[in-house]
Chain A
């Protein structure tokens, strides 16, 4: 039997899981937002990683087809997002039920009207979300259940009129948390079958979509391939997916890490510091790494490693979360935009407004003042991003500076503007160094954990 190893990184904002095989290759990744119930967050991340692993196994089986035929590639991409939709749908059903129940318990005199309103809102957003998953690739956008629903729900509530605003928001606040903290069991096989049905419907409908030159050529090429040949893919998948669905993903060992690691129901020897895991993961992916910068939800770490990937020293932010992911979250809230929009907007700045505040909360006040003075939003955002990186640079300096090669990890590494300033400031202070940023940067801690697990934590020995 194949053996697999699991690493779970329970961060302050997101929980990540990575499954690797015996060659340290990542075969599954899972991510979810961290919530009050840590165990559920960890379990969801792990389940996600296991589904992802099954897809990886499936892709490996049909590898030659996937490489040779565009329809295979496209179909597999599509089925992943529709599969996510199926998961989403189940949790959404629970949420809907909960919302109605919560509203029924309200003491408001116009309770029935509220419930009617609620139901009509749900009727609007339900198909909306489905459409975005099936046709808009929402599944690949790294959004979590809570965010997906609340974004659309809030929009509809805003339209519903003043008298409904408070009760409808209250109903949501009261319902979302328990629903998030509940573990939902899915059946991989069932979800795949349902997803195939949805896809069939989608592709049939595609016959009507005409080439209008608004998209790139490869898009139409893939589209045509899939439109004409999806039946072949389906056939091939039906042949293999049962095998994959039933295959036991035997987790031989696991390691938990991250801010919430102590709360994981793992034996003590399976808990490892995130400093070591991040460094180990980054070093595994980029073996020449000597300095690692990790910007996570509530801490920023500057880590120095030796040629074995062993940590020689590290520095973390103390007492203040300015300069971490949470800072960005707070700023996004201040501006009323989503976290994912921050980076791109900052990139469109014409200059960087100076933000001198080192404190997250004070930065909010500074921003208000700047807006009041007519400063452009992108410029303010650029200044804020720069401020974060400045904080990180001082931590790096305290930890011993940047040595070649430099690897940047953590959720914030996905933000283009942060990346830009990191590159700029590292080069300014330390000259030309090789800088590594990986698409999987957010998973580095979990990857390091899984790698420790493979080496058997109690006898941890980096390769």
Chain B
């Protein structure tokens, strides 16, 4: 058989339908202020921010093998930078979010140089130590409220938009935009040369290294890009909350444990996984929230069972059963079409 009898494609029927449906959903979501209530928009805004955090954590852990339990370091850092830049720098909040991302990238460089010396689970706990250092350091800064934190002054909140509805819509669109941008960025990154290297590392680190991929550099880039985007998401989260304190900003439960559960339950190492996981997480949260701590125990147990019985998560199960993919990332070999 000749090689020319086959063609290699990335897109399939499913990916084309998914792209179309995805764009329709995105349009509907952009128009949400027309059809959704205030409480719904608040909830959706929160959902988008979690989706963005989960997609980023998935890029690091699922593709680059960098399992961090210290991403709250960058969420909190971004939040504090928003407060510092707007309160003392007099910057507009949206500009402050962008600069918080840049500063997140800058601070993640020495952090990466240090914790990249640790491997595997020790890397994970090392990132947690870093997050603790961030938390304890910000608790020492008395101009930012020290251990008890501070609120965003009303003047800065008003600078976002004049009316309350305007502010709510803007913060909703920022959250939606950040989720869309993060997913698009991760998608495009994975389709790029660097992304191909990353996928190769995920599949077999040894083989990837022997093919000339600079594993350290690839992971380093992923870590820094993730830190920058996570810091921006953190700034957005605390722009919604309007109040920050070291314990809330650097909470391992809120910004890392939940995110890990989302990714594991949805399916680690896929783009679809975090989306499914986020939807399921919010569904569980909204229905089981009255159970209090029991709900968290259920969440922990679900994560353990999924990790043991279906390590590829819900999306993994679906993909194995139907062999579909919503984001065109892998290559498929098909017999060439006759003219």
A-B interaction: no
Name B residues whose Cβ lies closer than 8 Å to a Cβ of A.
Answer: none
Name A residues whose Cβ lies closer than 8 Å to a Cβ of B.
Answer: none
